[in-house]
Amino acid sequence: MLDAAIIGAVLASIVAAATTLLLASIGELVAERAGTLNLGVEGMMIVGAAVGYAAAYGSGSLILGTIAAMLAGTLLSLVFAGLAIWLAANQVASGLATTILGLGLAGLIGSPFVGTTLTAAPALHIPVLSDLPIVGPVLFGQDAFAYASIALLAIVAYGLARTRAGLVLRAVGESHVAAHALGHPVRRIRTLAVMFGGACAGLAGAQLSLAYTPFWASDMTAGRGWIALALVVFSAWRPLWLLGGAYLFGAVSILQLHVQGFGLGIPSQLLSSLPYLATIAALVVISALKRGQGAPASLGVPFVPDR
Amino acid sequence: MTENPPNALPASLLEAVALTKRFGALVANDHVSLAIRAGETHALLGENGAGKSTLVKMMCGLLQPDSGELLYEGAPIVFPDPASSRARGVGVVFQHFALFDALTVVENVALGLPGHEPLSALAARIDDCVHRYGLAVEPWRRVGELSVGERQRVEIVRCLLGDPRVLILDEPTSVLTPDESENLFRTVDLLTDEGRAVLFISHKLDEVRRLCHRATVLRGGRFIAEVDPKAETAGSLARLMVGAEVPRLPRVLEHELGEPRLLIRNLNIPGDGSRGSALRDVNLEIRAGEIVGIAGVAGNGQTTLFEVLSGEKLADDQESIVIDRVPAGGLGPTERRALRAGFVPEERLGHAAAPDMRLSDNVLLTTHSDGAIVKLGVVRHSVLNARFQEIVKRFDVRFGGRDPKARRLSGGNLQKFVIGREVLRDPVLIIVDQPTWGVDAAAAAFIRNTLREKAAEGCAVLVISQDLDELLEFTDRIAVMCEGRLTVPVPVAETSREAIGLAMGGAEDGGEGVHAA
């Protein structure tokens, strides 16, 4: 029956599933708080996964692979930034183009590696703490990506709320006209925010292909970039709610797999849709409770300064 | 502050020399020159579209001139962006405030200052500034919750904390009560006494004559004159601004009042928290042939009142609003229009007109159920076009092209269009929110005259306005809205600016309404 080891394994896979979403959505949250809606998350993520896998496979270093993945995500985000920020193109169209471009590029980059495998990123064992039953491996026996995602979330939450850079970034997302009138370089700030989003999506891709499922498959992101985008909206652009959303989605998507494994006679299609239903339900509850804070007021609006 | 600065002609602090700025075919500024001296309040006068805002934007680095140059303390200077002008001590309070609603006052202020000052230290400095210049502002409130007057004070405080040598105020009094304006004038006097220069942009001539040492007049993007406003009359300044006599409306038009067209009885609307204020026990009767004005500082329930009268918000009690004898509290906008009511909201683009739709399509927005233009669900374009042409002709709506998108029109022309659209529906009741907001003097006079004529024909008119002078000029009775309550309307002849100003500030007058003392 269910013993501690199984529960531990389930919890660990929940953490892994949530980490992918968390990494990607933190970056998108920053970009959106600056006023840019980048629908290219899925594309940047899969390019990160492909480049990260290729670099790690070639060099034998997971660290190099991770860095390469982040750089690749950033580079692709610059395509979006160039179109949507500097040429003031429609952000939705630019983002979709970025995703389509990313999916194609990733397939090309990854094609030599189909069928290969890597050694997954190791869990970092913290002595004593990680030996505690159940909570030990879950809280203190994860890989570096999981810790990085939590650290990143804390940094972003603190940075947005408490630092001047965060204040300026939020201001640009609220009213680019006012921010411009006060002398803040709106387009540069947005570009940096989008680049951060790209790096995070690339990191999420690396987590996917180097740790979560250490092989390459051309459709391995499987819509996780879109889920990350949705989570940003569900969280009402608040970092801490993002944490809850990512783990809720991760938990339901893993648990439904195990429920399918028990053979309870519930149609598997219904179970597969559970994570989405749970997220939608959470969205409805959150929007009903939500007071005051909505989307950044300038979200999705291109900024063209008068000259 | 009645004296001139000690030196008769101190060197100019900031000077614009022959600045020219073109936007496509439009020459917004054509060789405009202006010099601001330390210790003086300099007025920049002109109609809407005269080029005042363009000039200011070039003087603070928001726009780059096509030709001409800026001098700072006599030496040429280029401000590539607003940050560089601010670094030299040029602070601007814009007409459309550069504030962030979702952020607190202190965060807004921090965004306008260089450096990484902790917010708590900054809040203390804001408090100091507040005491020194008499600008009541609470640092930790969210800007979205503040009244327009408070927002303006936030902007001024933000500028002052940068210790500016030149402070540019773009139409600062257009949104203030008389009382708030007086406070602002005291602050301006304090600032010039400290040797700062103030550029005061306005089209309110009395203020300029009272407050300013010199005045530069622009018209049609050109420099017209530099005058001593105290030596001019309001009439002579207006002639310089407009280039012709501004027609004055006859003070009182005599006509019989008919039956009640609008009855508001014990109207109560709860506030919805963020935006709309509550209405408390509002009563009003408007009869055919009269114009009733509602004065008040923005945010005291006027928006809610307009929405509940136009049917965008419904009243709980069907009887609390009666339009032409029909209880209408629960009727929607189309049903109220069918009772021959016409509505002109405050916001022209986005509320009165759809910005990206053509003007002819915008005509349809309020005439779709009048019968003539739409038959069996099909738009009859010939009838629609005829109506559109009639509006354009009778209301002198000017624009480029045959049928442009609404957003291409200037404020005055779009307002004439919107008023014309409602007037040609032949209403028995017209409700107008801010009829001449941001509209030049000639168009404003035309709009007021149009409403006067409709009243004379037996229409009842309700005008909500923050411009007290306008209400005193062309309404028959004035009521004041304050914190959701409406005073008893008083005939214009029996009241005074002071009495209305007091009521706008919420002074209780024992139910006497706004009668002069």
Residue A73: pLDDT over 80? yes
Domain that holds residue A181: 16-117+138-225
Mean pLDDT of B200-226: 88
SS3 track for A110-148 = HHHHCCCECCCCCECCCCCHHHCCCHHHHHHCCEHHHHH
A206: in domain? yes
Residue A50: pLDDT over 70? yes
Place of tokens 């819509």: A223
Integer distance in angstroms from the first to the last C-alpha of chain B?
A: 29
Q: Which residue has the higher pLDDT, B497 or A252?
A: A252
Closest CA to A95 of A169, A187, A177, A198: A198
Beta bridge partners of B440: none
Residue A46: pLDDT over 50? yes
Q: Is A164 on the interface with B (CB under 8 A)?
A: yes
Q: Are A38 and A101 in contact (CB under 8 A)?
A: no
Q: Give tens-digit pLDDT for B444-456.
A: 888 999 999 999 8
Q: Quote the ipTM score.
A: 0.82
Q: How many Cβ atoms from other residues are within 10 Å of residue B349's Cβ?
A: 14
Q: Give tens-digit pLDDT for A249-294.
A: 999 989 888 888 777 778 888 888 888 888 778 767 776 776 556 7
Q: How confident is the model at residue A301 (pLDDT cuts 50, 70, 90)?
A: confident
Residue B105: pLDDT over 90? yes
Number of cross-chain residue pairs from A and B with Cβ atoms under 8 Å apart: 59
**Dihedral pair phi/psi, residue A115, rounded to 5°:** 90, -10
pLDDT at B2: 42
B residues 262-291 lying closer than 8 A (beta carbon) to A: 274
Residue B237: pLDDT over 90? no
A292: in domain? no
Q: Which residue has the higher pLDDT, B440 or B454?
A: B454
A37: in domain? yes
Q: Residues in chain A, how many?
A: 307
SS3 track for chain A = CCCHHHHHHHHHHHHHHHHHHHHHHHHHHHHHHCCCCCCCHHHHHHHHHHHHHHHHHHHCCHHHHHHHHHHHHHHHHHHHHHHHHHCCCCHHHHHHHHHHHHHHHHHHHHHHHCCCECCCCCECCCCCHHHCCCHHHHHHCCEHHHHHHHHHHHHHHHHHHHCHHHHHHHHHHHCHHHHHHCCCCHHHHHHHHHHHHHHHHHHHHHHHHHHHCCECCCCCCCCHHHHHHHHHHHCCCCHHHHHHHHHHHHHHHHHHHHHHHHCCCCCHHHHHCHHHHHHHHHHHHHHHHCCCCCCCCCCCCCCCCCC
Q: How far is B325 from chain A (nearest CA, A)?
A: 40
Mean pLDDT of A62-82: 97
Is B103–A171 a contact, with Cβ atoms under 8 angstroms apart? yes
Q: Is A304 on the interface with B (CB under 8 A)?
A: no
Q: Which chain A residue lies closest to B91 (C-alpha atoms)?
A: A182
> What span, in angstroms and rounded, lies between the C-alpha atoms of B475 and B496?
13
Percentage of residues in chain A with pLDDT exceeding 70? 94
Q: What angle do CA B154, B160, B164 make, to 5 degrees?
A: 140
CATH number of B12-242, picked from 1.10.150.120, 3.20.20.10, 3.40.50.300, 3.40.190.10: 3.40.50.300
Tokens coding A32: 């959106």
Is A292–B274 a contact, with Cβ atoms under 8 angstroms apart? yes
Q: Are A231 and A21 in contact (CB under 8 A)?
A: yes
Mean pLDDT of B423-430: 94
Q: Which residues of B touch A170 (CB under 8 A)?
A: 100, 102-103
Coil vs helix vs strand at B137: coil
pLDDT at A290: 63
Q: Are A191 and A36 in contact (CB under 8 A)?
A: no
pLDDT at B247: 58
Residue B161: pLDDT over 80? yes
Distances (CA, A) of A298 to A107, A180, B147, B187: 35, 13, 22, 34
Q: Is A301 on the interface with B (CB under 8 A)?
A: no
| Sequence ranges of the domains in chain B | 12-242, 258-340+427-508, 348-426
Q: Which chain B residue lies closest to A175 (C-alpha atoms)?
A: B100
Taking the whole predicted model, whether its pTM rises above 0.90 is answered as no
Q: Is A170 on the interface with B (CB under 8 A)?
A: yes
A10: in domain? no
Q: Is A177 on the interface with B (CB under 8 A)?
A: yes
Mean pLDDT of A179-192: 92
Q: Which chain A residue lies closest to B155 (C-alpha atoms)?
A: A182
Number of domains into which chain A is organized:
1
Name the residue facing A181 among B98, B102, B110 (closest C-beta).
B98
Q: Is B89 on the interface with A (CB under 8 A)?
A: no
Coil vs helix vs strand at B19: strand
Residue B343: pLDDT over 60? yes
User: Are the folds of B12-242 and B258-340+427-508 the same?
Assistant: yes
Residue B507: pLDDT over 70? no
Closest CA to B285 of B422, B460, B480, B484: B460
Percentage of residues in chain B with pLDDT exceeding 90? 45
Name the range with the highest mean pLDDT among A104-118, A190-204, B134-148, B301-315: A190-204
Whole-number average pLDDT of chain B? 86
Q: Which residues of B touch A174 (CB under 8 A)?
A: 100-103
Q: How confident is the model at residue B244 (pLDDT cuts 50, 70, 90)?
A: low
Domain covering B258-340+427-508, topology: Rossmann fold (3.40.50)
Dihedral sign (CA B75, B80, B82, B86) = negative
Environment class of B451 (CB within 10 Å of its CB; exposed 0-12, middle 13-18, buried 19+): buried
B460-464 vs B429-433, strand pairing mode: parallel
Q: Are A74 and A16 in contact (CB under 8 A)?
A: no
Residue A205: pLDDT over 90? yes
> What span, in angstroms and rounded, lies between the C-alpha atoms of A183 and A172?
11
Closest CA to B5 of B216, B225, B189, B160: B189
Tokens coding B136: 């009541």
